[in-house]
């Protein structure tokens, strides 16, 4: 059992709060009430969630690790010259599905060149997360 799994196990054994589902809901289904984050921060700051701090800390740490792993995997799959399509969760919406070519890779971002400049991207060059694009073909 890994360190974080052990911490989650210990936290869930001592937790008096409601249990959460094993799988995190997707952003499409999650709709937080207004000021939910501010309320959570205020409760933590006031010490009202002290018995849940380990669970919160471990859960947030695990999520950060998972996002970093997804980012690293997505970046590793892309090479300069690869053809990509811009995903549908990117803003502005007029970029959805547009084809582009990877022209630069950074440590956490890529730069793509749109086939046709559009909107405020007059030069057709966009720096974005590798998670924002889907590789075309093999």
Q: Are 104 and 130 in contact (CB under 8 A)?
A: no
The answer to whether the Cα torsion of 34, 36, 42, 43 is positive or negative is positive
Q: Which residues pair with 135 in a beta bridge?
A: 84
CATH architecture of 83-135: Roll (2.30)
The tens digit of pLDDT for each residue in 79-122 reads: 999 999 999 999 999 999 999 999 999 999 999 999 999 999 99
> Where are the domains positioned within the chain?
3-76, 83-135
| CA-wise closest residue to 30 among 38, 39, 21 | 21
Angle between helices 53-76 and 3-14 (to 10 degrees): 150
Alpha helices in 46-127 (DSSP H): 53-76
Compute CA distances 71 → 3, 33, 110, 128, whole Å: 22, 28, 11, 11
Neighbours of 102 (CB within 10 A): 19
**According to the model, what pLDDT value does residue 138 have?**
63
CB atoms within 10 A of CB 98: 19
Predicted pLDDT at 13: 37
Say yes or no to pLDDT of 57 above 50: yes
**pLDDT for position 31:** 81
């Amino acid at each position: 059992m890994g360190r974080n799994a052990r911490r989650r196990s210990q936290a869930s054994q001592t937790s008096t709060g409601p249990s959460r589902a094993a799988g995190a809901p997707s952003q499409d289904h999650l709709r937080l009430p207004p000021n939910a984050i501010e309320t959570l921060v205020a409760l933590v700051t006031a010490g009202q969630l002290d018995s849940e701090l380990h669970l919160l800390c471990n859960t947030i740490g695990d999520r950060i690790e998972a996002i970093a792993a997804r980012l690293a995997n997505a970046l590793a799959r892309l090479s300069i010259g690869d053809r990509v399509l811009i995903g549908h969760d990117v803003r502005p919406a007029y970029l959805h599905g547009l084809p582009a070519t990877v022209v630069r890779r950074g440590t956490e971002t890529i730069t793509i060149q749109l086939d046709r400049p559009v909107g405020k991207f007059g030069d057709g060059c966009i720096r974005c997360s590798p998670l924002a694009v889907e590789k075309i073909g093999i």
